[in-house]
Each structure stands twice: as structure tokens, then as C-alpha cells.
Amino acid sequence: MVKSIKDLDITGKKVLIRVDFNVPLKDGVINDDTRIREAAKTVSYALEKGAKVALVSHLGRPKGEKNMAYTLKPVADYINEKSIFPVVFVSDSVGDEVGKALDVLKPGTALLLENVRFYKGEEKNDPEFAKELAAPFDVFINDAFGTCHRKHASVYGVPGLLKEKAAGFLVEKEARYFDKIVKNPERPFAAVLGGAKVSDKLGVIKSLLDMADVILIGGAMAYTFLKYKGFSTGTSIVEEDQLSIVADILKTAEKKGVKLMLPVDHVISDKFGGEPRACPEVSIPDGFMGLDIGPETVKEYSKALEGCKTVLWNGPMGVFEQPAYSGGTFAIAKKLASLGVTVIVGGGDSVSAVKKAGAADKISHISTGGGASLEYVEFGTLPGIDILRA
Ligand code: AMP
């Protein structure tokens, strides 16, 4: 297990907390404050313990340049406006300004440092930059799960330099759920995988072949599997260059006794987003593309999920952004919510699908990291979490 902020004595100490305030911002307006609200528990805890707290985050992709379109100032204003916790904005993330702000910081107030990606050293994990970032602080806390797969200075470099380090509540919870999946899942363990590309999820599928008992495939990536198996896939998205890899996956699944299931029917159309039509068989007619799993597939997948003790879901079953092709994804979301077992959902699209389906409150764990959650399953850990253990 990773050490928690609760295991450290932080009273009176200067504490740098890596948060993920990479919120959707349009014209200075924050459309979704979930990430801020989620990190607030750790920040408030540190403030209550009497720590001198500074928060460091990235926002967007300023590519190592100071670009005010990506300033975190509106985030600081929002936090104060909504009285989430008292915060003072610092217009730099390293250097004298940070030291001075810490010196005059009032108890109970946190600092929010300017976007750490204004410096090239952040994404490169430049040792000099990491040193500058760490310099004013005694303790490092990571509460930004969505960035834990990145070896960046504020995620990996700084905790490599500070002895006292731990996970915030958010990262601790994510690590608890994902550790359970990769080390000791309650069985049967099912993985539901969808989304656009096989190539994006290859690593995680390969790892899941060693862990899962059942793998249910949906989304566009199912068509590469079906094509390999000799079914016609019409104009569906197929990754021709992945056909041999898909062959390996199917062979390995058979050898290891993993039940890998593919769609048996579809919702199709003659063009992306065109009129929907039912396709009650596996093969898709010429000139049509598969855009969602069909009702028989939903039935078969639902049956396969019954009795499972652990389920991991990543990636939608179809083009769920369009109502005509959202049925499969929402049906699976509702099924998962009804199981009453450990269900972990990761990846922005699957998270928004469970929320839209009104199923979020019945899901055991909704991960805040898409890429990070996939890499956790693929590699069994993440660099940003491992370094907290060092
Ligand atoms: P990913 O980011 O890999 O999880 O992919 C999510 C995207 O895959 C969503 O935007 C879906 O609309 C898209 N998607 C899912 N199923 C299909 C499909 N059958 N054809 C085209 N796109 C799809």
C-alpha cells in the first residue's frame, strides 16, 4: 500500500500538493469543477493540520511557454468565489515569488502556484527544474491521479528529492482499488473494453489476459476482431495493421482459458451518424458500418456479467455521444450499476456514460484518470505512485 497523508506529521511544515486542476475552461468559465472538489478534501485536511500548503497543477498544453490562455488564476478565483477553501494565487510556480508567498501565508489559506507547464523542465522532468520546484518545501503530497503515469517534474522529480512524501486521499483511493484489481481481484473478474481503437488498448488487453476471467469487447475495436475471424464488417472502423495482434490475443485467451466475447449483433448505418438500422447478425452488410452493439449482445454480455465479483470497464460500446447509438453503452452502464459487486470505471468516456445513464452512485469506484487507469492495469503500478513508496 502507498503511504497516506494521514501517516505524516505535517503540522507547521511546508507542503507541496500536486493536484489536477486541469479543468474544462472556456472564456475563463469553469464548466466542470469535479477535479477541484475532489482534491479539496486533501487540501482542507492539510490546512486543518496547520500545514503551509502550496498547490501545483498543470492546465492544458502550453508546451513549456508562458501562455496566459492557460493561467490558473481563474481557477484560484473560482475556488475563492465558491468558498471551497481560501486560496491565494502566485504568478509563478518556482523561484523567489513562491518563497515569499509562503513566508507571509496566513494559517488556513493555501497557495495556488501558476501553471507548472509554463516551464519546459516540467514535462522533461529536468532535474534542475525539479530541484527549484522542491526547494521551498519539506513534504510532497500527490493527489493528481490523472497524471501519475507521467514522469514529470511535479509528479516524479520532486518526490524523488523530498524524503517525506505520501498520497492524498484521492490517489490513495485510486491506488487501493487498482491494487486490488492487479494483485488480488475477487473472482470471477470481468473486463469490459470498448472505444475507438484496439491499438490504444493493446497493452491493457494483453495484461488483462493474465488477470481476467472474462473479457467483453465492444466499440469500434470489436470490428478488427470480427474481421480477423472472417466476418464481413462493411465500412466499420477496422485497424488492418492490428489483425495479426488480434490473432495473438485470441490465441492467448484460448490458451489461458479467458472467455473473450465479441458482439453478435449491431446497430449500423450507411454513414457515421446516419439513420440507425438493426443488424441482427454478426456480419455487417456491404456499405454499412457498426456504430453500437445490438440488443442480443447486450443480453449476452449482461448474462456474462452476472455472478462476476469484480468488473473493470473502459471505453464505450458504441458512438454513445449520439442518442441513436448510445443504447448499448447505457444498457451496460445500468447492468454494471445493478450488480452490487466491485465495479471500477476508468476513462473519460465511460465515466461520462455512467453519469449520463444515472448509474454513477452505484459504481464502487469511478477513476479520475483515463490514461493513468489503463496504465495501472497494464503495468501493475504507476511511476507517480511508485516514487511515493521509494
Ligand atoms: P476511446 O477514447 O478509445 O475510449 O474511444 C471513445 C470513442 O470511440 C468515442 O468517442 C466513441 O464515439 C468512439 N466509438 C465507439 N464505438 C464506435 C464505433 N463503433 N465506431 C466509431 N467510433 C466508435
Q: What's the pLDDT tens digit per position in 146-171?
A: 999 999 999 999 999 999 999 999 99
CB atoms within 10 A of CB 63: 11
pTM value is 0.91
Which residues line ligand 1 at a C-beta cut-off of 6 Å? 195-197, 200, 219-220, 237, 290-291, 315-316, 318-319, 321, 347, 349
Q: How far apart, in whole angstroms, are the C-alpha atoms of residue 94 and residue 341?
A: 45
Determine the atom of ligand 1 nearest the C-alpha atom of 318. Answer: 16
Q: What is the pLDDT of residue 390?
A: 78
197 is catalytic: yes
Extract long-range pairs of 7-12: CB within 8 Å, 24+ residues apart: 7/166, 8/139, 8/164, 8/166, 10/46, 10/49, 10/50, 10/51, 10/139, 11/49, 11/50, 11/51, 12/50, 12/51, 12/52
Contacts of 222 (CB under 8 A, 6+ apart): 194, 262, 263, 290, 293
Residue found under cell 458500418: 289
Contacts of 86 (CB under 8 A, 6+ apart): 80, 106, 108, 109, 110
- The residue whose CA is least distant from atom 21 of ligand 1 is 220
Contacts of 83 (CB under 8 A, 6+ apart): none
Q: How far apart, in whole angstroms, are the C-alpha atoms of residue 321 and residue 333?
A: 14
Return the higher-pLDDT residue of 34 and 237: 237
Q: What is the pLDDT of residue 24?
A: 87
Average pLDDT, stretch 334-354? 91
348 is catalytic: yes
Averaged pLDDT of the chain: 96
Determine the atom of ligand 1 nearest the C-alpha atom of 218. Answer: 16
Contacts of 346 (CB under 8 A, 6+ apart): 312, 313, 314, 366, 367, 369, 370, 373, 374
Contacts of 257 (CB under 8 A, 6+ apart): none
CA of 316 to the centre of ligand 1 (A): 6
Identify the bridge partners of residue 16 per DSSP, sorted by sequence position.
54, 140
Q: What is the pLDDT of residue 32?
A: 84
CA separation, residue 337 to residues 87, 143, 306, 363 (Å): 37, 27, 12, 6
Share of the chain above pLDDT 90, in %: 88
Read off the pLDDT band of 50 (50, 70, 90): very high
Q: How far apart, in whole angstroms, are the C-alpha atoms of residue 122 and residue 63?
A: 10
Q: What is the pLDDT of residue 20?
A: 96
Give 268-283 pLDDT, tens digit per residue.
Answer: 999 998 999 999 999 9
Q: Which domains are assigned to the chain?
A: 5-170+384-389 (3.40.50.1260), 177-367 (3.40.50.1260)
